[in-house]
Structure 1
Amino acid sequence: MTARKENSTYTFNEKFITDCDLTYAANKIGGRWKIVILDKLGNRKMRFSELKKEFPYISERMLTLQLRALEQDELVKRTVYAEVPPRVEYELTPIALEFLPIFCQLSAWGRKNKMLKNNRS
């Protein structure tokens, strides 16, 4: 692995991004599917198959990758039950539960501005 130059643009950008609180938070929930997965899990624990049914257009691989990333960021807790066949459930962690009111506000903002845009068209 090659080391990055201390004074490269990439290094400066990376430092800015990791130091900015808003960017840090946005990176945790960013991506096409993370925010909607978190939103669905806000109501209850769900199994992988239930999540897959909620999002029929996401591939199993992408759902798995997104769940792993959310688990790694400690936003989702994965529980494996010692059963045959094994049962796995996903739920929000206390840290992720703090996002729920923000999601409601963001959703309201989106609904309002989407309607405004549609009315202008």
Structure 2
Amino acid sequence: MKKQTNGPDHADCTAAPQLQRALRVLSGKWKGEILWQLVGGKRRFGELRRAIPDVTQHMLTTQLRDLENEGLVKRTVFPEVPPRVEYEMTPAARDLRPVFDELSRWANAHGRLEPASPVADDDADGRRAGSSDRPAR
């Protein structure tokens, strides 16, 4: 009898597709940040934009729509002039709170994670390969 070594032992292999779907739903550069901002309660679009300064207006709109389509964010439009729109977590998204808490605990325990440094092509003198003291022509 040959032992299978293709992957980790899982008592319930049916969980894998569900985990993959959950990761697809939550993947996206800004989705986690958006949900984290909504943990504290309802937020208007402008508040989210200020809270996540690196996100573009287009990307924030796209990610919010994706989260709304997945049932994680509820969008409420108030018939006012000017129009007011609020976003909030749905109960399904609020169930992710322990996941966010655990990620926060993990990040605090491991400090700032540094990416692996690339292998430098330095010569014995510490200069980059292909560099010289002569100015480029």
- Under TM normalisation by the shorter chain, which class is it? 0.7 to 0.9
Shift in Å at residue 111 of structure 1? 2.4
Higher RCO, 1 or 2 (CA under 8 Å, sep at least 6)? 1
Matched, 1:69 2:66: yes
Cα distance in structure 2, aligned partners of 1:27 and 1:108: 23
Cα distance in structure 2, aligned partners of 1:32 and 1:114: 21
Cα distance in structure 2, aligned partners of 1:26 and 1:111: 22
> Residue by residue, what CA displacement relative to the aligned partner does 1:29-63 show, whole Å, maximum 9, x if unpaired?
11111011001101110000000000111100000
Matched, 1:58 2:89: no
Cα distance in structure 1, aligned partners of 2:74 and 2:48: 14
Cα distance in structure 2, aligned partners of 1:27 and 1:103: 17
User: Equivalent residue of 1:88, what SS?
Assistant: strand
Cα distance in structure 1, aligned partners of 2:111 and 2:68: 31
Cα distance in structure 1, aligned partners of 2:52 and 2:33: 9
Query: Between Structure 1 and Structure 2, which shows a larger proportion of helix residues?
Result: 1
**Runs of 4+ displaced beyond 2 Å:** none
Which residue identity does 2:93 align to in structure 1?
A
Query: Residues 19-98 of structure 1: matches in 2 within 5 Å?
Result: 20-98=17-95
User: Equivalent residue of 2:75, what SS?
Assistant: strand
Which protein shows a greater Rg? 2
Q: What TM-score, normalized to structure 1?
A: 0.77
Q: 1:111 aligns with which of 108, 111, 136?
A: 108
Cα distance in structure 2, aligned partners of 1:38 and 1:58: 14
In structure 1, stretches of 5+ residues that fail to align are 1-18
Q: What TM-score, normalized to structure 2?
A: 0.68
Shift in Å at residue 114 of structure 1? 3.3
1:8 counterpart residue number = none
Which residue identity does 1:83 align to in structure 2?
E
